[in-house]
């Protein structure tokens, strides 16, 4: 069966979507039926930096995903579909989608892909429950700093004990009149 030839504008759309799939760390598919233009703009703002929200025609999006090697999402390209391409922190974008979906029931998260693995709606929700990368890094740095401070104290303890012992011996000799 011959592959369908698309007009130039649709080929450009496929190329743009393919680039989105190739460059993204993760992509989340949603159904946006019933959302106004103002709500879609609000959603785009809530996703954070490094994420873009793109309404796409299913046939073109499916072709682009397949061209990018993402073949496990084919069943999700049903109904009005928009794709969140996430090049930044996937946790921040997942939180944005989840929070927006809570207050706007018209947004339905269908599923997604991250690092080549398909994500279910539950997995996207769990991803949104994680703390952001920055928070996790700062917690790790704090834990490492605390560990280093303890180690420094342990290494300094023998030297300070020797100094106290020397001082005690000196005081004892002075008291004995030597």
Q: Do 47 and 83 belong together in one domain?
A: yes
CATH number of the domain where residue 78 is located: 3.30.70.1730
Query: Do residue 69 and residue 38 come from a single domain?
Result: yes
Is 86 within the bounds of a domain?
yes
Asked if 105 and 141 sit in the same domain, the reply is no
For the chain, the domain total comes to: 2
Q: What integer pLDDT is reported at residue 160 of this predicted model?
A: 66
**In which band, very low, low, confident or very high, does the pLDDT at 10 lie, cut at 50, 70 and 90?**
confident
Contact 64, 11 (CB under 8 A): no
pLDDT digits (tens, 9 = 90+) for 88-99: 888 888 888 999
Range 68-86 average pLDDT:
90
CA distance 133 to 8: 40
Tokens for 18? 């393919």
pLDDT-derived band at 1 (thresholds 50, 70, 90) equals very low
CB 48 within 8 A of CB 96: yes
Question: What distance in Å separates the CA atoms of residue 137 and residue 160, rounded to the nearest whole number?
Answer: 34
Burial of 51 (0-12, 13-18, 19+ CB in 10 A): buried
Give dist(CA 38, CA 6) in Å, integer.
31
Q: Are 21 and 116 in contact (CB under 8 A)?
A: no
Summarised one tens digit per residue, pLDDT across range 108-136 is 999 999 988 888 888 888 888 877 666 66
Range of the domain at 166: 133-178
Residue in the block written with tokens 């049903």: 78
């Amino acid at each position: 069966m011959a592959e369908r030839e698309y007009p130039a504008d649709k080929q450009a759309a496929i190329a743009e979507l393919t680039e989105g799939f190739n460059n993204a760390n993760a992509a989340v598919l949603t159904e946006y039926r019933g959302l106004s233009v103002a709500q879609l703009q609000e959603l785009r703002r809530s996703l954070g930096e490094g994420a873009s929200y793109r309404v796409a025609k299913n046939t073109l999006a499916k072709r682009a995903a397949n061209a990018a090697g993402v073949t496990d999402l084919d069943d999700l390209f049903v109904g009005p579909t928009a794709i969140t391409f996430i090049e930044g922190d996937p946790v921040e974008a997942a939180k944005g989608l989840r929070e927006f979906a809570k207050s706007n029931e018209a947004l339905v998260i269908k599923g997604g892909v991250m690092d080549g693995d398909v994500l279910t709606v539950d997995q996207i929700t769990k991803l949104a429950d994680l703390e952001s990368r920055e928070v996790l890094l700062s917690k790790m740095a704090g834990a490492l700093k605390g560990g280093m401070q303890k180690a420094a104290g342990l290494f300094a303890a023998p030297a300070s004990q020797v100094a106290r012992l020397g001082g005690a011996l000196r005081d004892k000799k002075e008291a004995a009149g030597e």
